[in-house]
Copies of this chain bind each other. A is one copy, B any other.
Amino acid sequence: MDASGFRRLWDEIAGIGLADTGGCLRFSWSAADLALRDWFDAQAAERGLRVETDRNGNRYAWWDLAPEAVVPPGAAPDRRAVLTGSHFDSVPHGGAYDGPLGIVSAFLAVDELRAAGAEPKRPIVIGAFTEEEGGRFGVPCLGTRLMAGVVDSDRARALTDPSGTTLADAMREAGADPDALGPDPERLANLSAFVELHVEQGRSLEAPVGVASAIWPHGRWRMTFTGAGDHAGTTRLPDRRDPMLTFAFAVLAARKEARLAGGLATVGRVEAVPNATNAIASQVTAWLDSRAPDEAVLSEILTGFESKVAERAKRDGTGFTISPESETPIVEFDASLRDRLADLLGGVPVLPTGAGHDAGVLAAHVPTAMLFVRNPTGVSHAPGEGASDEDCAAGVEALAAVLRDLAC
């Protein structure tokens, strides 16, 4: 596998859903998604892989065991499939690598295995999961969450995109059947492992390829800062109770606490009331996103942040409340699988990620691992996201070695 071999296949999908911002508009069940699914089917056909779509719209290409065409439900433990793959869908104007890299690399890894004469003892399956980003219907990892039964299918069918189209209608329009949505425990039970290859999303990986240790615990908190709306031109500074000051302090405090504790904290969303140039705000609402290597660090950030902001609010004469909107505990990937992969790949870096993935959902049901490919810019969810062709080729080699180890 060389860099040009990777580039050749990669370029086949480069133009699909490409916006003039340089970012991708690849929303699930859109025309771009259907074009990517067609490309997936064509790649499978070229390699003699059997294509299947599950009840939740996730697409698979099966390298079945010869001479058995299909492993039936209830496969014996030593015949359960090894699943790899990722997702096609993007965030609005997102990068090209987040998702598709794992699918393109899987087809190329199958080519590597075949060129080397590998003979799988388990089926190898390439998966393309639906709506991983939540970029159209708002719920990330929707395809795998439905499979795992952690999102209700009625709720899923009623989800709407920004134009008001429901998931059910979008699926129907794309020729899929929304009534089939639901848990798929048998499918999960027939998997021996899931390995997702993904572009790294920060700049934490300094080698071409690494293995994931965990998905950081993370959460979103809603913050409300209350004060006294008043005239910006006449209210003396000592008489003010200006919640914008407390909010500003909180933005800087979040960053500081995260830096000191060794985690991440971000304020990216803010709404002021009445949001008028010549009025002291009466209220500011904002959201804190924080993630950390472990629950203790996350809790340290939150505790430090809350006490410092509360103290500042007292000085400002403002009110401050904070409440969680979502809190996701740490996902530790299967330790023996992780170590096996790291050893197999010659001691590549083992590192955690702050981002959610389908692998994080499936890890509760199947021994799961992730391979990361180095991201030189560290940018993600934006057009600057990328990886060198050389590193991507190294990713394909690593994935092929892992699939051979797990399935052959």
Whole-angstrom distance between the alpha carbons of A272 and B247 in the complex? 14
Question: Do B268 and A275 touch across chains, with their CB atoms under 8 A apart?
Answer: yes
Known: A233-B355, A356-B233. A272 touches B279 (CB 8 A): no
Q: Does A33 belong to the interface (CB within 8 Å)?
A: no
* Chain B residues within an 8 Å CB radius of A266: 232, 242, 244, 278-280
Known: A234-B202, A239-B203, A380-B231. A268 touches B276 (CB 8 A): yes
Whole-angstrom distance between the alpha carbons of A239 and B200 in the complex? 14
Q: Does A252 belong to the interface (CB within 8 Å)?
A: yes
Question: Do A272 and B277 touch across chains, with their CB atoms under 8 A apart?
Answer: no
* Chain B residues within an 8 Å CB radius of A264: 232-233, 235-237
Residue of B nearest to A234 (CB): B201
User: How many residues on the A side are at the interface (Cβ–Cβ under 8 A)?
Assistant: 61
Q: Mark A235-269, 1 if CB is under 8 A from B, else 0.
A: 11101001011011111100100110000101111
* Chain B residues within an 8 Å CB radius of A202: 231, 234-236, 239
Q: State the oligomeric state as a number of copies.
A: 2
Known: A242-B266, A248-B251, A268-B272. A380 touches B235 (CB 8 A): yes
Question: Do B242 and A252 touch across chains, with their CB atoms under 8 A apart?
Answer: no
Contact of A268 among B244, B249, B251, B269 (CB under 8 A): B244
* Chain B residues within an 8 Å CB radius of A176: none
Q: Does A281 belong to the interface (CB within 8 Å)?
A: yes
* Chain B residues within an 8 Å CB radius of A287: 277
Known: A248-B252, A269-B277. A378 touches B236 (CB 8 A): yes
Whole-angstrom distance between the alpha carbons of A230 and B98 in the complex? 13
Q: Does A291 belong to the interface (CB within 8 Å)?
A: yes
Question: Do B277 and A239 touch across chains, with their CB atoms under 8 A apart?
Answer: no
Interface positions of A from 379 to 398, Cβ below 8 Å from B: 379-382, 384
Q: Does A58 belong to the interface (CB within 8 Å)?
A: no
Question: Do B255 and A233 touch across chains, with their CB atoms under 8 A apart?
Answer: no
Question: Do B230 and A216 touch across chains, with their CB atoms under 8 A apart?
Answer: no
Question: Do A230 and B381 touch across chains, with their CB atoms under 8 A apart?
Answer: yes
Q: Does A166 belong to the interface (CB within 8 Å)?
A: no
Q: Does A353 belong to the interface (CB within 8 Å)?
A: yes
Q: Does A345 belong to the interface (CB within 8 Å)?
A: no
* Chain B residues within an 8 Å CB radius of A275: 268-270
Q: Find the residue from A267, A272, A282, A356 having the highest chain B CB count within 10 A.
A: A267
- Shortest distance from the beta carbon of A41 to any chain B beta carbon, whole Å: 31
A-B complex: 6 closest residue pairs judged by Cβ atoms: A201-B234, A233-B354, A248-B251, A232-B266, A248-B248, A202-B234
Using A237-B255, A252-B252, A268-B280 as known contacts, list a sample of 19 further A-B pairs with CB atoms less than 8 Å apart, ordered by residue number in A.
A201-B233, A201-B234, A230-B382, A231-B354, A231-B355, A231-B380, A232-B266, A232-B291, A233-B291, A234-B380, A244-B266, A244-B267, A244-B268, A245-B255, A248-B248, A266-B278, A266-B279, A268-B274, A268-B279
